[in-house]
Amino acid sequence: MQSQTFSNPTSNSMANGDRPATLNLSNLNVYYGESHILRSVDLTIHPGQMVCLIGRNGVGKTTLLKTVMGLLPARTGIIEFEGRAIGKLTPDKRARLGIGYVPQGREIIPKLTVQDNLLLGLEALGDRAPKNQKVPDEIYDLFPVLKKMLTRMGGDLSGGQQQQLAIARALMGQPKLLVLDEPTEGIQPSIILDIENAVRRVVETMGISVLLVEQHLHFVRKADWYYAMQKGGIVAAGPTSELSQDVVQRFLAV
């Protein structure tokens, strides 16, 4: 099957012709053992753009994010971050370049306090980390609930609180690209709205790019651009404003 290429033009409001794409994947192929999971995936995220990846369960969305993060090796293909090939780097080096990862299941370090979990986010800054280990106020502005929880163990928090902690932790490293894997999965509706608003606010105020995997249509529509996946390949793409009912029916598991 020859996959089509769906180009993603720089959206005009963020246009900055000289800057390379924040993330550029071309012809990416990933295998689990012998089974072919990602088939020639091409994907581009421009600076300041929020891109949403949609598709039903098991089509390879999480695999794609893990490959971007370096948790899974790509057999062939190119991963470029700000014009630099990062396919051979380990996850910690990618994090230090400016990719913040919020995985599915949140992966809060359970036996560390919320404060320590947040401070671990500073690791991504490497040598640029401030000498005084402090959580900046902006983080509490985004997620006020965390301020009351600082001394609690990360593992004792509720799902929604853990999700907010995971996003806050990723933001502590001042990433240029925030990778979010189903941030609203299994979380009560009121907190989903908080998370949506926080992410949207981050995109607008900090100018960072976002790669989002999401099932909630409401959240998907907050993104600028979407890519739809099926059987390990990208099969549709376009601005989210043009998301038709037909596409939604085919690619969202709702």
Q: How far is the CB of 64 from another protein (least distance, A)?
A: 15
**Of 55, 60, 121, 183, which lies in the binding site for another protein, with binding defined by CB under 8 A?**
121
Shortest distance in whole angstroms from residue 117 CB to another protein: 8
The site map against another protein for 178-217 (x = CB under 8 A) is: ----------------------------------------
Q: Which of 71, 150, 248, 252 binds another protein (CB under 8 A)?
A: 71
Three state DSSP letters for 179-245: EEECCCCCCCHHHHHHHHHHHHHHHHHHCCEEEEECCCHHHHCCCCEEEEEECCEEEEEEEHHHCCH
Q: Quick check: 29 and 74 in contact, CB under 8 A?
A: yes
Q: Does 169 bind another protein (CB under 8 A)?
A: yes
Of residues 125 through 164, those in contact with another protein by CB under 8 A are 125-126, 133, 155
CB-facing half-sphere around the CA of 89: CA atoms within 13 A: 18
Nearer CB in complex with another protein: 69/228: 69
Residue 118 found at the interface with another protein (CB under 8 A): no
- Tokens encoding 90: 């380990």
Rg (CA), the chain: 18
| # chain residues binding another protein, by CB under 8 A | 27
First-to-last CA distance in the chain? 28
Do residues 78 and 26 touch, judged by C-beta distance below 8 A?
yes
**Residues at the interface with another protein (CB under 8 A):** 69-71, 90-92, 95-96, 101, 103, 107, 109-112, 116, 119-121, 123-126, 133, 155, 169, 173
